Structure 1
Amino acid sequence: MERYDLLYRLYQDFDTGAIRDLQTFVDVFPAVDSRVALDYWQDATDELAERKDEVREAFDDGETLAEVAATANRDQAFTGLDLYSKYGRAVNVLVLDVDETLRSAGSTDNEIPRETLSVLTEFHEAGVPIVICTGQTLENVKGFLIQGLGNEIVHSTDVSIVYETGTGVFTPGHGSETKRLLYDELDPEMIGVFDRVRSRVLSEAPAEVAQGTHLQGNEFNITLKPNFDVGSPDAERIIDRAMVYLLDLLGRAVEETTDAVSTDGPELARAYFAGTDPEIENVLVSEGESVDRTLEDVPDAVAEIFERVDVAYYHADAAEIGSLELNKPRGVQAALEVLGIEDPFLIMMGDSKSDLRVMKWAAENDCGIGAAPKHSSTAVLDHVRATDELVFEPGDAASMLRTVYVMNLLAAF
């Protein structure tokens, strides 16, 4: 119980709130060309050093406890210690979703907050690799990461980007392994199905879908996005129509890859995915496009292809077709291989079912923990609450990162 006793004393005897506020101010102080502002920053830096020295002198391991006080509030610190007590090891790699996790359109203007970027920088300086795991395109992710963390960190060899939900991995500074195109490892049959869908997705689209959506610039996944504000009634309407269209297009593509289908590929696609995904079934019903066939009516040869395809519906946001063999867990494992992390213990922070797959993989293999914002999908929250209850407020990923940082500090005692 020694660590717990030390934390009780730290947060009882010292004004840790003032230490933390000073540290945050010093870390995120904007670059300004003002003598008055710089003097104020220097005064804060000096006061921070004095307060940390008081902590250092009061404990045998005062250096670590001074950093704990400057990093986390009482609840975060004790949660970090609980995690270390449970798992007995530090987190040695961060795996982070972006949209609605690191950043939240509802509370952060869709930018990663400066406080979150500051804590990520602290992890980088502590030698903890960062894996960004997202459904976005590589170029989008590279752009905002370089803008937020800086070119030096992004190209430091300790940052990896799993993009398009696991179709590729980009890890700068690793020679021939810098960019791994995991979709090249699929068998020719599956590549053929996706090539057929991609080549027709815009040219064969109904006028309403063609005019109301655009194809996201993915390397492999096929994602239709609305030409309207995400979440708006118009976006909902067009994405529902696009979902039906993509199912039919997939069904026709499968017709050409197996002799088990003649001309009813679209109906089989609707039957199969309605039978395996309640959200897609609801879309078909609401659009008046449901079919009389059921999952049992789908021939085995066709089902074997469909069960390898991920048809994803994001309400009023996107309709997507991807490969279930190319997912975030596979992408994360590839990133860990490139980074040379042979015994990972990660934290996966995310909000969607694709992030949940990584959380479950980590739990099943005893190689990590999961955390999620409060607005995550029900399945994600159920998993997180059933494991370590690491739920944080939307737009406040920094609080969870601080908890993990303290967990690592206390592991070094």
Structure 2
Amino acid sequence: MERYDLLYRLYEEFDTDRLRAYQEFVDLFPPVDSRVALDQWHDASTELDELKGDVSDAFPNVGETFATLASHATRNQAFNALDLYTKHGRGINVLVLDVDETLRSAGNTDNEIPRETLHLLTRFHDRGMPIVICTGQTLENVKGFLIQGLGNELVHSGDISIVYEAGTGVFTPGHGADTKQLLYEGLDDEIREVFRRVRSGVLSDAPEDLRRGCHLQGNEFNVTLKPNFETGSDDARAVIDDALVYLLDLVESSVAGVVGAEEDVAGYARAYYGQTDPEIHDVLAALDERADVGAEAVPEAFRALFERIDVAYYEADAAEVGSLELNKVAGVESAFDVLGIDDPFALVMGDSKSDLRVMQWVDDHDAGIAAAPDHASQHVLDHVTATDRLVFDRGDAAEMLRTAFALTQFADLD
């Protein structure tokens, strides 16, 4: 309990709010060509050093660490970090971060990664911590905003890896022949043909109301229908529910064509995925579109391919078909291999089912902790709440990153 007692004393006896305010001002002060502003920054920096010095002098042996801790983390963040360290006995050694609705949020960050979040990522990088960006976006999009936000030198430092298109590929600059890994090259011809059929017919064969109400996203092995309405609205919910049913039938007909059973189509995909995913089951039930056969009636040839294909439903947001062999877990494992992380203990931050698989993977392997924004999918929130309860406010990834940074400080003490 000694460390808890010291931490309690730190936040009781020192004006840590003031210390953090000076630290934030010094860290995030915009570049300006003004002598008055520069003098203000210099005065704040001097005051910050003095406040840190007071903390350092008051805590023999741990003073420097406690000064850093107090200048970056609130009382709650620091105590949460100490609880995590007490429970797990180790600090974070790699960050695994989703982008959309995690690092940035269309809800309250203008869909940009906030400067505070970018600065914290830079601080982690300066400590030598690898960062894995794990997203469904294309490589070009991710590289563009990372270079803009973090700088070309950091992105190409050799400690940044990008898992893009939800696991289709992994890009880790600075690693020679391993810089770009195309994970889809490992898929066999059978599964490639299924996705070719799905992709080629997804819009051209769709009913007119779906063609008008949805647009297509994704890539060769990830087919996503998004609503042409405001996400979360009643119109978006209705069209995505219909899109889910359509995609289930499209997957079934595509599989039937590959296994040579075009005449043997009887709602097998609806039955299989309705049994394996409660959300899909509920949508089919609500629309009275459940299969006439049970999951036990699905032929083995169909089941063998269904087991390799993911059909995902995001209420009022998206209906998606993807390869279970090209997922974020496979991408993260490949990124760890390239980065040389043999014994990971990751902070995984995300909001969707694809992120949940990574969270479950690190939990199963005692290889990290998981955090999510409070608007994440219910399955993600259920997992996060059941593990370490690391839920942060929408658009405030910095809150969680500060807790993680405090965790690294406690690990440094040992």
TM-score bucket of the superposed structures, by smaller chain: over 0.9
- Correspondence 1:376 to 2:382: no
Q: Which residue of 2 aligns with 1:309?
A: 309
Distance of aligned partners of 1:350 and 1:409 in 2 relative to their CA distance in 1, 3 Å threshold: same
- Correspondence 1:94 to 2:64: no
Query: Do the aligned residues in 2 keep the contact of 1:252 with 1:266 (CA within 8 Å)?
Result: no
Q: Distance in 1 between matches of 2:44 and 2:246?
A: 59
User: Residue type matched to 2:231 in 1?
Assistant: V
Q: Which residue of 1 aligns with 2:350?
A: 350
Which piece of structure 1 moves more, 169-178 or 197-206?
A: 197-206
Matched position secondary structure for 1:407: helix
Q: Which residue of 1 aligns with 2:293?
A: 293
Q: Distance in 2 between matches of 1:28 and 1:263?
A: 64
Q: CA deviation at 1:318?
A: 1.7
Q: Which residue of 1 aligns with 2:387?
A: 387
Alignment gaps of 5+ in structure 2: none
Which piece of structure 1 moves more, 340-349 or 275-284?
A: 275-284
Q: Distance in 1 between matches of 2:284 and 2:83?
A: 46
Q: CA deviation at 1:144?
A: 2.1
Q: CA deviation at 1:177?
A: 1.3
Q: CA deviation at 1:264?
A: 4.1
Q: Which residue of 1 aligns with 2:250?
A: 249
Q: Distance in 2 between matches of 1:264 and 1:279?
A: 26
Q: Distance in 1 between matches of 2:141 and 2:285?
A: 35
Query: Do the aligned residues in 2 keep the contact of 1:225 with 1:317 (CA within 8 Å)?
Result: yes
Query: Do the aligned residues in 1 keep the contact of 2:252 with 2:265 (CA within 8 Å)?
Result: yes
Matched position secondary structure for 1:366: coil
Q: CA deviation at 1:25?
A: 1.4
Query: Do the aligned residues in 2 keep the contact of 1:97 with 1:133 (CA within 8 Å)?
Result: yes
Identity of aligned residues (%): 64
User: Aligned pairs, how many?
Assistant: 412
Q: CA deviation at 1:185?
A: 0.8
Query: Do the aligned residues in 1 keep the contact of 2:196 with 2:220 (CA within 8 Å)?
Result: no
Q: CA deviation at 1:288?
A: 4.7
- Correspondence 1:220 to 2:218: no
Equivalent residues in 2 for 1:128-143 (5 A)?
128-143=129-144
Which piece of structure 1 moves more, 394-403 or 132-141?
A: 132-141
Which piece of structure 1 moves more, 391-400 or 227-236?
A: 227-236
Q: Which residue of 1 aligns with 2:32?
A: 32
Q: Distance in 2 between matches of 1:31 and 1:202?
A: 48
Query: Do the aligned residues in 2 keep the contact of 1:94 with 1:347 (CA within 8 Å)?
Result: yes
Distance of aligned partners of 1:68 and 1:240 in 2 relative to their CA distance in 1, 3 Å threshold: same
Root mean square deviation, CA, Å: 1.9
Query: Do the aligned residues in 2 keep the contact of 1:230 with 1:316 (CA within 8 Å)?
Result: yes
User: Residue type matched to 2:173 in 1?
Assistant: P
Query: Do the aligned residues in 1 keep the contact of 2:266 with 2:293 (CA within 8 Å)?
Result: no
Q: Which residue of 1 aligns with 2:199?
A: 198
User: Residue type matched to 1:62 in 2?
Assistant: G
Equivalent residues in 2 for 1:353-368 (5 A)?
353-368=353-368
Query: Do the aligned residues in 1 keep the contact of 2:266 with 2:292 (CA within 8 Å)?
Result: no
Matched position secondary structure for 2:375: coil
Runs of at least 4 residues off by over 6 Å: none
User: Residue type matched to 2:22 in 1?
Assistant: L
Q: Residue deviations 1:199-236, cap 9 Å, x none?
A: 22233232222233222252531112223332233333
Q: Which residue of 2 aligns with 1:409?
A: 409
Q: CA deviation at 1:342?
A: 0.8
Q: CA deviation at 1:72?
A: 0.4
Q: Distance in 2 between matches of 1:219 and 1:120?
A: 31
Matched position secondary structure for 1:310: strand
Q: Distance in 1 between matches of 2:262 and 2:219?
A: 30
Q: Which residue of 1 aligns with 2:336?
A: 336
Q: Which residue of 1 aligns with 2:122?
A: 121
Q: Residue deviations 1:47-100, cap 9 Å, x none?
A: 111111222222223221111111101111122122222222221001112222
Distance of aligned partners of 1:200 and 1:266 in 2 relative to their CA distance in 1, 3 Å threshold: farther
User: Residue type matched to 1:52 in 2?
Assistant: K
Distance of aligned partners of 1:378 and 1:214 in 2 relative to their CA distance in 1, 3 Å threshold: closer
Alignment gaps of 5+ in structure 1: none
Query: Do the aligned residues in 1 keep the contact of 2:221 with 2:323 (CA within 8 Å)?
Result: no
Q: Distance in 1 between matches of 2:171 and 2:195?
A: 22
Q: Which residue of 2 aligns with 1:326?
A: 326
Q: Residue deviations 1:367-411, cap 9 Å, x none?
A: 111112222233322222222222222222111111111111121
Q: What is the TM-score of this pair, normalised by structure 1?
A: 0.94
Distance of aligned partners of 1:39 and 1:224 in 2 relative to their CA distance in 1, 3 Å threshold: same
Distance of aligned partners of 1:339 and 1:48 in 2 relative to their CA distance in 1, 3 Å threshold: same
Equivalent residues in 2 for 1:153-302 (5 A)?
153-259=154-260, 261-265=261-265, 267-302=267-302
Matched position secondary structure for 2:219: coil
Q: Distance in 2 between matches of 1:326 and 1:217?
A: 13
Query: Do the aligned residues in 2 keep the contact of 1:273 with 1:280 (CA within 8 Å)?
Result: yes
Q: What is the TM-score of this pair, normalised by structure 2?
A: 0.94
